[in-house]
Structure 1
Amino acid sequence: MIEWSETELLIRDAIREFVDKEIRPHLDALESGTLPPYDIIRKMFASFGIDALARESVSKLLSGERGSGGGGLAFGGQEAMALIAVSELAGVSLGIVASLGVSIGLTAQTILTKGTQAQKERWLPGLATFEKVGAWAITEPDSGSDAFGGMKTSVRRDGDEYVLNGQKTFITNGPYADTIIVYAKLDDGSDIRDRKVLTFVLDKGMPGLTQGKPFKKMGMMSSPTGELFFSDVRLGRDRLLGESETGRDGDSKAEVKSGFAVERIGVAALALGIINECHRLCVDYAKNRKLWGQEIGRFQLIQLKLAKMEVARINVQNMVFQLIETLRAGKMPTLAEASAMKLYSSEAATEVAMEAVQLFGGNGYMAEYRVEQLARDAKSLMIYAGSNEIQVTHIAKGLLGPRV
């Protein structure tokens, strides 16, 4: 794949029209945190028929599993459309994509992959149509990149139930989520770093569950992020994903690593959206802003900045094209490959966005011109889905082996 098809460009233009009409007028409210993004996402789902398609897809999946024990969601051929949508949204409001991606791409996908038939019927319909907002909770105050080893949130068996205690932080959608995936270590008396990690599904309003208020952040302000607190939350076995502590449905570490890979390949599309928007704004500004009687685009140092932005745009776009072809072939990048994509694209987007601020000069430092927002959002990509420092480790292990 070397370019977008005519159909894909039509899809892109339709999304841009929605963005201009339904998102840009509300950017100030989204960026201040006074307007959560969920109603805008639901309006987008309704406008493009995504809610109806999701409802039909989940219905077919669940009825198929009831009848034959098989089935799955059909995503073939839709990879380009999804990545185009993600990219276009990221260029105007990265937080909207984060909230949507965590709810659909992590919360719903975890239930789809790991849940029993009854659990899928219970939680998937609301999540797939975005009637319900999902959160995916693994990060803790003292764990960070050491997600498993540093995990302190725990569950203990109590008869036929479990009792959950602990705390999660930096949880996208945490303050408002209706359905929450929580990872916790089973307190079985073994060394805490070696304990099995189990996955549970919680619902808003459960006794002992507290959802903290949204944090104030540097970027991605349109995506509410907060803390979750668990104080003797009682969980029936029906809330243990897979309803098993052993075998394929037991320890969740492998499944979490797969989720990390999905998050990281998505960063390339997010980065492309930010780069495209910076590129567009800077080219327009260079053509119209005048100094010493001429457009600043005539100055070679400005041309150098624009040229480097174009190189970054081409590189990251080609990375996205390669990703689409890989997915269409029914393959997934390895964790090391996903980390490489995340590392390069996030650094490219951050560099482009900071150069955009510089190109705009004093105007670039003002929120009115939007490159200021893009710079703040781009920086988050170097931390989001695992800091770039940990990506280096995963890439090296992929090249040299796990003992590195």
Structure 2
Amino acid sequence: MYVVDLLPEGERRRYAEVREFLQSRIRQASIDYWNREEFPFGLLAEMGKYGLGGIQVDGTSKLFKGLMYVEVARADVSLSALVGIHNELIVGMINELGSEEQKRRWLPGLTAFTQLGAFALTEPDHGSDIAGGLETTARRDGGEWVISGAKRWIGAGTIAEFALVWARDIADGRIKGFIVETDRAGYKATKIPHKIGLRIMQNADIVLDDVRVPAANLLPGATDFAAANDLLRDSRAWVGWQGAGIQLAAFDVARSYILERRQFGKELARFQLIQQQLSEILGNATASLALMVELARIQEAGKLEMAQAAMAKATTTRLARSSVAMGRSMLGGNGVSSDFEMGKLFGDAEILYTYEGSYEINSLIVGRAVTGRSAFV
């Protein structure tokens, strides 16, 4: 990719090493796990050795981090979701908003990918309206907090060592963040099965039945939901990189297939309509990458706004949806089988289009910014 030339030499070398590992080790291995909806703990350990558990805090550039998200998505979108949430919302939250003790306790294992956290914000009845509608409660009881409520669609909720739970303090009405170890009494996580995409990611329904945690488990920098806004904004931008990565994956799969497949006595690659679709996929991917490179520049300058992140997420995932649909068509009947990868990408693209704010919600965020008028309700 031409954008790799924008990286300094050291980051270019590291990029090449990680990309080779992801393509040679992760891409094909992920298919069977995706089919079975199982989590590849062994692959996670290998990813940790390449530093993918700590790119949020390793001092590399915003562009390098974004290109890592692209390449993980290019190999497997489920694992890119884990890498992104892990870095942006778990490592990032603890590093930025946690106490010194919380950092010492959790960051070494998290950055090595020997431990996982789950970001527990969304609820069964509240997704896009979570900031105003959050119902999970926290009550101070002496030296402890008592947390009650339910969460839904929580990635890694069944396999994480702790959940970063957002709950409303009944004393002041503010939403606060708590580290809740998953082996505490009253914590129950149940895997959500039968998803059409991101099948490796272990999403969960979580029930918190008067779970008691020490007062020290409150993130001191997360005593108001507004404190998390910058990290949530950056997390939304991260999905834009995923949108670019899945399109490059669709291009890789489609190009390889049409060069090998023969119909009517010649290679599919010699048909005009096939070439047109492949060119459009590449154009969509290139446009998405260009948008995200500009976003990285804005982030590096500390000037990224939520509307810009929302526009990037909405745009690249819209183009991704279109690109994988063309890719699926190019493979004909084989396009619906995960064995040929495109069917896997087709399902994963639907999840990207929906999570971290649906396409419609992100469009309304942009619309509000450019008109000065809210159309949410």
TM-score (norm 1): 0.85
Q: CA deviation at 1:19?
A: 2.2
- For the pair 1:216 / 2:216, whether they are aligned, the reply is no
Deviating 4+ runs (over 6 angstroms): none
2:327 corresponds to which residue? 356
2:138 corresponds to which residue? 155
Distance 1:214 1:33, change over 3 A: farther
1:15 corresponds to which residue? 18
Q: CA deviation at 1:32?
A: 2.9
1:119 corresponds to which residue? 102
Q: Which moved more, 1:4-13 or 1:338-347?
A: 4-13
For residues 162 and 88 of structure 1, what CA distance do their matches in structure 2 show?
A: 40
Q: CA deviation at 1:393?
A: 1.4
For residues 49 and 107 of structure 1, what CA distance do their matches in structure 2 show?
A: 15
For residues 52 and 318 of structure 2, what CA distance do their matches in structure 1 show?
A: 32
Larger Rg: 1
Aligned residue among 232, 241, 266 for 2:238: 266
1:39 corresponds to which residue? 42
Structure 2's unaligned 5+ residue stretches are none
Q: Which amino acid aligns with 1:250?
A: T
Please give the per-residue CA displacement for 1:275-325, whole angstroms capped at 9, x wherever unaligned: 112112222323332222222233222222122112202201111221232
Q: Aligned-residue CA RMSD in angstroms?
A: 2.4
Q: CA deviation at 1:132?
A: 1.1
SS of the aligned residue for 2:94 comes to helix
Please give the per-residue CA displacement for 1:169-224, whole angstroms capped at 9, x wherever unaligned: 10000011102100011123x8xxxx311111111211111121343311011111
Aligned residue among 215, 223, 237 for 1:237: 215
1:173 corresponds to which residue? 156
Q: Which amino acid aligns with 2:224?
A: D
Q: CA deviation at 1:50?
A: 6.0
TM-score (norm 2): 0.91
Distance 1:332 1:22, change over 3 A: farther
Identical residues among aligned pairs (%): 26
For residues 111 and 132 of structure 2, what CA distance do their matches in structure 1 show?
A: 32
For residues 52 and 132 of structure 2, what CA distance do their matches in structure 1 show?
A: 39
For residues 118 and 192 of structure 2, what CA distance do their matches in structure 1 show?
A: 13
1:3 corresponds to which residue? 3
**Matched length:** 372
Map 1:217-366 to 2 at 5 A: 217-242=195-220, 249-252=222-225, 254-328=226-300, 330-366=301-337
Q: CA deviation at 1:83?
A: 2.1
Aligned residue among 361, 364, 376 for 2:347: 376
Structure 1's unaligned 5+ residue stretches are 59-72, 243-247
2:360 corresponds to which residue? 389
Distance 1:403 1:22, change over 3 A: closer
- For the pair 1:141 / 2:124, whether they are aligned, the reply is yes
- Contact 2:328–2:335 (CA<8 Å) still a contact in 1? yes
Q: CA deviation at 1:86?
A: 1.5
